[in-house]
Structure 1
Amino acid sequence: MTYDHIVIRYGEMSTKGKNRLQFVRCLKRNIAKKLKHFPNLQIEALRDRMYIRLHHTPPQPVIEKLQEVFGIQSLSLALKTENDLQKIKEATLFFVKQFPYEGKTFKISARRADKQFPITTNELNYELGSYVLKNTTGLTVDVHHPDIDVRVEVRKEGTYITAYDVPGAGGLPVGTSGKAMLMLSGGIDSPVAGYLAMKRGLQIEAVHFFSPPFTSERAKQKVIDLAQRLTEFGGTIRLHIVPFTELQQAIYKQVPENYSLIATRRAMLRITDEIRKKENGLAIVTGESLGQVASQTLESMVVVNDVTTTPILRPLVSMDKTEIIAIAERIGTHHISIRPYEDCCTIFTPKAPKTKPKKEKIIQYEKFLPLDEMITETVARVETITLKPNEPLDELF
């Protein structure tokens, strides 16, 4: 006797009513892609939960992969047995004995989803609890705060026994909320914003602004690695690399220094919006946090936003830097982000950027440039790379 299933619980998806089936199907597809390197697994998706039959596959690597899939609230190793009372007793005892149980307390939490099962839930709790007590030593019952909570669920297709939950990534399955473009720099914030956007079911494509020779090929590799890491949570990601040198230099030559940062952000947003239109995206995601830097004051955001009517999503808007760093460390992007290579947001930084820019002034300054033509030319030269989970590109170095 051994663990033979993993039980997956949906969490927030359970509130989706008539649309729940669409969410379940999407989650099943995402899980199947995530687990494609485990050929023996069998996935069964039901309305209220999902089961993965292990077929002798070691469970721990599977669980670790599942913890990166959005839409899963929790998961548990499970043992499936027939709807026969004696076999359920034996399986329950086996489960308890997987724990160092001496001196511990336990509880049986039975659920009889199959109403054709011949005894009631309370009777099943009693029968299983009594059997465990008779066949163990040093174990006592505590129905309020047990050390071991053995859950027994009797369903039509069989009985599943679980004893502890592993937390999932939560959120909604990637692909259920449409597509958005992530403005991905080489810093700490934007990868976290992408992660949180995917957690709400968004499929993302990334847009990175590359300004050689002021930014190096190593900086480009850093962004590729960041996008590659994000594929582990959201599947395939297309990374659009924008050649930004000419336009960025023109802005810093023609626009007054204290407005150059705002002009740059407006140009970047316009370019991202053009790429969004080509890729049929619905929104733009940024890593901005309110008040963190000069371009992220509310006044600056209003002036930058003025170039588009596209929704701008800012998942980090209310977070402190320490909170953002904690998420970056947890999801495995922080060590990539802190590589010491500059990106286009850190070059040509003005000494005293405007924190309360005026829209009328920036519009006037932009008239010094053939901005529409330059943006069109820049978009035409965008390089697009397709990144897939577990299939990293050959590194540039």
Structure 2
Amino acid sequence: MSQQTDNSSTEPLGESVILKHGEVALKGRNRRMFVERLENNLRAALHGIGGSTWIRTQGHLTVLGGQVPMEELVERARRVIGFSSVERTLRVPSTLEAIEVNSVALLRKACEGREATGFAVRGKRRDKSFPLTSTQLERELGAHVQPLVPGLRVDLTRPDLTLSVEVDHRETFLSCERHPGLTGLPVGSSGRALVLLSGGYDSPVAAHRAMRRGLACDFVHFSGAPYTNPASVYKAYALARELNRFQPPGELHVVALGKAQKQLAVAGAGRLQVVAQRRLMVRTASELAARLGAQALVTGDSLGQVASQTLANMAAVDQAATLPVLRPLIGWEKQEIIDQARALGTADISVLPDEDCCQLLAPPQVATGARVGQLKAVEQRLDLDELVEALLGAIQVMHPGREDGEAPAPTCEV
């Protein structure tokens, strides 16, 4: 059944991981810029992996390999935003004979311990000089491997096992192990943002959504210090560390807001206390963002979720900001947010007990329709510029997830 081939070896060329480009593949003349950002973020994800690695981009594929366990490469690659899929592959010569021999070996290994297994072959001929079309390759290869692998049956609709075959100019990639990628735009391709990071479910999920739209994120956490314990700071650090798995690590800035909250209360904020302190947070965060070179703020607000997140109150908060305030979760329900937090790995941190600064000095009833004029009347009793400067002057900067020392950067083959 096999066509005649030359005398080239059928031996595998090695293992690798191929990452298929997601939204980046749709870009036009500036696509190279996005691909370069993807490669840089992949290098950052490989930092400290403990072995030599290499990266090569071929069209809409990025190929990753090295002298490290493939499982570790797959795990690191799955954290990188911008790839639609991550596949552990066997690289073989681009001859039909080599593809057939190694496909049989790969499927036998994949079927170990399984009973009857429905399978399908999905082929992609990127090298148009290859003698078979993608459809012909699927048929030829499926007919060849089925009788040689016990327990295989053809199931093209809902296969238990899919053999993926990518025929390229340099080599062919065979895979039975495919993981979904995080898709989206490469982190940093849309600019930089500062995330107002609390200890709850919402803001970490909002940060991740912002990253998936290409925003590199730093974080600012407002604690109730000196009137609250440091538990919320520990949580913010842990959350930022978890989020930094998905981007080149951003900084965490901790602002002790307690004394300023007390000043707002003494100034007679009353039912406006929560909205007034939110305005102070975005005012302070806007100034910090400007110093960091960020172009937007990100919050975890969801419309109507709590009293401070009514449309009127959010509009009043926005009026105090000097940068756009992005709310990726504005239309999400709470359960959707919790489910996403569990998928991200932040939920277990968010449920830990802490003393939330938003509860400090909070009135029994929060105004749901705060007016800007009323808020300004309260703020005029304070020197806001001096207050913001004092908050920023006492800021604490942390580097969650940044490892000590330097590891060799992976090389990039041309």
Q: Normalising by the residue count of structure 2, what TM-score does the alignment of the two structures yield?
A: 0.89
- Structure 2 residue identity aligned to 1:58: P
* Corresponding residue to 1:29 among 40, 45, 52: 40
Whether 1:70 and 2:81 are equivalent positions in the alignment is yes
**In structure 2, how many angstroms separate the alpha carbons of the residues matched to 1:277 and 1:367?**
24
* Offset at residue 278 of structure 1 (A): 0.7
Give unmatched runs, 5+ long, in structure 2: 1-10, 406-414
| 1:351 CA displacement | 0.5
1:53 aligned residue: 65
**1:143 CA drift (Å):** 3.6
After superposition, the C-alpha distances for 1:300-340 in whole angstroms (9 at most, x for unaligned) are 01111111242110111111111111111221222222221
Query: Secondary structure of the equivalent of 1:27?
Result: helix
Per the alignment, residue 183 of structure 2 pairs with 170
CA distance in 2, matches of 1:231, 1:127: 45
Aligned counterpart, 1:214: 227
Measured in 2, the distance between the counterparts of 1:382 and 1:137 equals 65
Report Cα offsets for 1:245-267 as digits up to 9, x if no partner: 22111001112311111111111
Ranges in structure 1 where 5+ consecutive residues have no aligned partner: 393-397
- Confirm or deny: 8 A CA contact 2:269 2:276 kept in the other structure: no
Pick the aligned partner of 2:211 from 198, 216, 228.
198
Cα offset for 1:196? 1.4
Q: Please tell me whether the aligned partners of residues 283 and 322 of structure 2 are also in contact (alpha carbons under 8 angstroms).
A: no
Q: CA RMSD in A?
A: 2.1
The CA distance in 2 between the partners of 1:120 and 1:303, in whole Å, is 61
1:114 corresponds to which of 113, 127, 133: 127
**CA distance in 1 between partners of 2:343 and 2:156 (Å):** 35
- Percent sequence identity is 33
3-state SS in 2 of match to 1:203: strand
Q: How does 1:240-255 map to 2 (within 5 A)?
A: 240-255=253-268
Specify which of 96, 100, 103 is matched with residue 92 of structure 1: 103
Q: Deviations over 1:218-270 (max 9, x none)?
A: 32222112111111112211111113222111001112311111111111111
| SS of 2:188 mapped into structure 1 | coil
Question: Are the aligned partners of 2:89 and 2:177 in contact in 1 as well (CA < 8 Å)?
Answer: no
1:238 and 1:111 mapped to 2: Cα distance?
A: 42
- CA shift for structure 1 position 159: 1.2
- 1:350 maps to which residue? 363
The question of whether the paired residues in 2 share the 8 Å contact of 1:248 and 1:264 is answered with yes
Q: Is the 8 A contact 2:231 2:355 kept in 1?
A: no
Q: State the alpha-carbon separation in 2 of the partners of residues 15 and 240 from structure 1.
A: 36
Given residue 94 of structure 1, which amino acid in structure 2 is its aligned partner?
A
Residues 255 and 365, structure 1, Cα contact 8 Å, conserved in 2: yes
Describe the shift of the 1:329–1:138 C-alpha distance in structure 2 as closer, same or farther (beyond 3 A).
Answer: closer
Query: 1:1-397 maps to which residues of 2 (within 5 A)?
Result: 4-36=15-47, 37-55=49-67, 57-100=68-111, 103-389=116-402
With over 3 angstroms needed to count, the CA separation of the structure-2 counterparts of 1:86 and 1:258, relative to structure 1, is: same
How many residue pairs are counted as aligned between the two chains?
Answer: 391
- Counterpart in the other structure of 2:410: none
Residues 221 and 254 in structure 2, CA contact (< 8 A), matched pair in contact too: yes
Please say which of residues 108-117 and 7-16 is displaced more in the overlay: 108-117
Q: Output the CA distance in 2 between the equivalents of 1:256 and 1:112.
A: 67
Contact 2:286 2:323 in 1 (8 A): yes
Q: CA deviation at 1:122?
A: 4.3
C-alpha separation between the residues in 1 aligned to 2:59 and 2:401? 29
Deviation at 1:390, TM superposition (A): 5.2
